[in-house]
Amino acid sequence: MAAGVGYRNSGIVRKIATYFAFFCLLFWVGFPVYFMLITSFMRAHELGAKPPHWIPPEPTVENYREVLIGKAGEAGGYGSTTEFTRMMPALLNSTFVSVAVVLSNLVIGGMAAYAFSRFRFRLSRAAYFAILMTRVLPALSLIVPLFVILRKLKLVNTLWALILTYTIFILPLTIWILREYFDTLARDIEEMALIDGATRWQAFRMVVAPLAIPGIIAVGVMSFMEAWSEFFFALTLTNSLTYPPLLMSFRNLHQVNWNALAAATVIGVIPPVVIAFVFQRYLVRSLSEGAVKG
Amino acid sequence: MASEQLGKAAAQQRKHWDRKWIPYVLLAPALVTIFVIILSPLATTIYYSFSNIDLIRDRTTFVGIDNYVELFGSRLFWKAVEVNLKFAAIVVTVPTLTGLFFALLLVENFKGRSIGRTLLILPWALPWIVVGLLWNWVVNAQFGALNGLLYTLGLIDKYIPFMADEDWALVFTAMASAWRQTSFSAILLLAALQTIPEDLYDAAKVDGAGMRARFRFITFAWLRPTLTIVLLYNVVLGFLQFDAVWIMTQGGPGDATMLISVLLYRYTFINFDLGMGAAVSNVLGLITMGVGLIFVRLIYRSHTTYA
């Protein structure tokens, strides 16, 4: 490798500096995450200790049980117990929404990206520019009319409201990244397939799509993560049907059970974190190619 | 002969398939949904901002620029602008600099690099709402990790209620945003660093360029386009952040962390003053669209040169 290090001198100083910087990275990322992790394995009375426990003295999974099954456990007096029974449905709802968003995004976005990549047509540049532009529109500012429209469609407080809005707001990114992939695939191969008598759909399915798989994975993963994480629309368009706004309502309980909240947080971030780690190669490539080259 | 005939048939088929309507059909679902969900609400927001909306009597009256006059004359708005500028200053500088620092680290060859690269992804994989919660844990006055650390190290003997203090509250809500954004910035910068050809450095060494010169004229020069993009992303975040701040402070204490986005939420969902909410929306929209326009132009330009 060694790419990009050529401006440095080598030696012991550099080694020390490297490991010091590495320690900074570990601390920067690890400190907040670690503290929440250990909180989720501690009991309520262990939380306020001074100096704090940096390792849970008696690790317990009671908090996780309370969040997932709704058992009151040790912290029976807390008002949070009933609220936590909404956790499992919320996780299922979030999963449903995210998967639906991934699929609709790939189909709708894939079609549009293919059109931009393979055809020159009237207003194609203007349309592409307009679509990219919607990506930087503050979604926050559209909420009131959006609410009105969705209410007319009788979609408020349904998962479909979220699926619809998430799909649209992720579409520009999808179109942008997939177009990049389609553009890099040689048109000749596709045309050969056409000459051999394949229909456009066959050529797409058998030639273009397989080669674009890295892009398709990246787009799928990114739309999953955005759909899983989105908070503002979920807060305003639904009554905490999905995971992020439910977490907020745990937080706002009169008496917060911090340990159970930590457990709820950990459970809810497992899907995006696992997916990000598994697909990091695809993600990093699309993110950077998308951002730098366009 | 046979192949010639085949070619003719294929040409006919291609002609059949390259009909003009195909791209429009392919684009229709995307354009229709974008129109319904984005463009029509956008038009409505602009209209609302010139109206007074009486939700109780369900009456909308056109009031011209009254909402904007009221907004620009209000102390609250200028407070939000001031808060947001400070907030954005942190969210732009910290992630860009620490992101660059981590990217330069992770391009080095050392044991632990792959752990570092994986760990770098973690903050970016977390939802904003979770990032806000995490930092709530860090700064909490009763059991916060930061207080715990300072106490363990013997630097304080009484826990500090950070979030009750206006300045600290602003700094830490911004730091929470910076924390996640650092990962994103570093990922982009690292990817760019990895594409620098090593020959450039060798050639520069032969030419007698020193370490600093090599950094400045090769590394930095190579990173410049990426740095521009990273900066733009961070500026946009600095003005559009809502989730993490909302869960940490809901704009408080007082109005200390009342970003423009928080003001928008307050007008719309707490005061139910939709006209004013829409006016704030449009101001916020103009700010980010300005930045976004530069951003899209950069992408667009690169596209036309590549095509």
Supply the range of the domain harboring residue B11: 2-48
Would you say residue A5 has pLDDT above 80? no
Identify which of A236, A251, A288 has the shortest CB distance to residue B133: A251
Instruction: Report the C-alpha gap between A251 and A254 in whole angstroms.
Output: 8
Close Cβ partners of A12 (under 8 Å, ≥ 6 residues apart): none
Angle between helices B274-306 and B221-240 (to 10 degrees): 160
Q: Are B263 and B200 found together in one domain?
A: yes
Q: Are B34 and B88 found together in one domain?
A: no
Would you say residue B167 has pLDDT above 90? yes
- In-domain check, residue B56: no
Q: Kind and range of the H or E element at A232?
A: helix A232-237
Would you say residue A247 has pLDDT above 80? yes
DSSP string of A4-54? T-TTSPPSHHHHHHHHHHHHHHHHHHHHHHHHHHHHHTS-HHHHT-SSPPS
- Is the ipTM, as predicted for this complex, more than 0.95? no
Identify the three-state secondary structure at position B164: helix
Instruction: Report the C-alpha gap between A38 and A70 in whole angstroms.
Output: 21
CB distance from B302 to chain A under 8 Å? yes
pTM to 2 decimals? 0.86
Q: Are B78 and B13 found together in one domain?
A: no
- Within 10 angstroms of residue B5's Cβ, the number of other Cβ atoms is 9
Task: Tell me what the pLDDT averaged over chain A comes to.
Answer: 82
Instruction: Report the C-alpha gap between A259 and A262 in whole angstroms.
Output: 5
Q: Are B34 and B113 found together in one domain?
A: no
- Within 10 angstroms of residue B307's Cβ, the number of other Cβ atoms is 9
b/e per residue A206-218 (b: at least 16 CB within 10 A):
ebbeebbeebbeb
Residue numbers in B near A224 (CB within 8 A)? none
Q: Are B85 and B228 found together in one domain?
A: yes
Q: Which of A68-82, A84-98, A127-141, A157-171 has the lowest mean pLDDT?
A: A68-82
Q: Which of A50-54, A107-111, A250-254 has the lowest mean pLDDT?
A: A250-254
- In-domain check, residue B59: no
Mean pLDDT of B263-270: 89
Give me the CATH number covering residue B182: 1.10.3720.10
Query: What residues 1-60 of chain B have any CB closer than 8 A to a CB of chain A?
Result: 6-7, 9-10, 13-14, 17, 20, 22-24, 26-27, 29-31, 33-34, 36-42, 44-45, 48
Mean pLDDT of B297-301: 67
Q: Are B185 and B279 found together in one domain?
A: yes
Q: Are B83 and B162 found together in one domain?
A: yes
- In-domain check, residue B58: no
Q: Are B44 and B118 found together in one domain?
A: no
Report the residue of B35, B143, B162 to disrupt the A interface, i.e. the one with the largest count of A CBs within 10 Å.
B143
Angle between helices A280-292 and A258-278 (to 10 degrees): 80
How many domains, chain B?
A: 2
Is the N-terminal amide bond of A272 cis, ω within 30° of 0?
Answer: no
Would you say residue B292 has pLDDT above 90? no
- In-domain check, residue B165: yes
Mean pLDDT of A235-250: 88
Nearest CA in chain A to B208: A7
Instruction: Report the C-alpha gap between B67 and B50 in whole angstroms.
Output: 7
Q: Which residue has the higher pLDDT, A139 or A116?
A: A116
In degrees, to the nearest 5, what angle opens at C-alpha A150 toward C-alphas A148 and A151?
65
HSE (side-chain half, CA atoms, 13 Å) at A97:
31
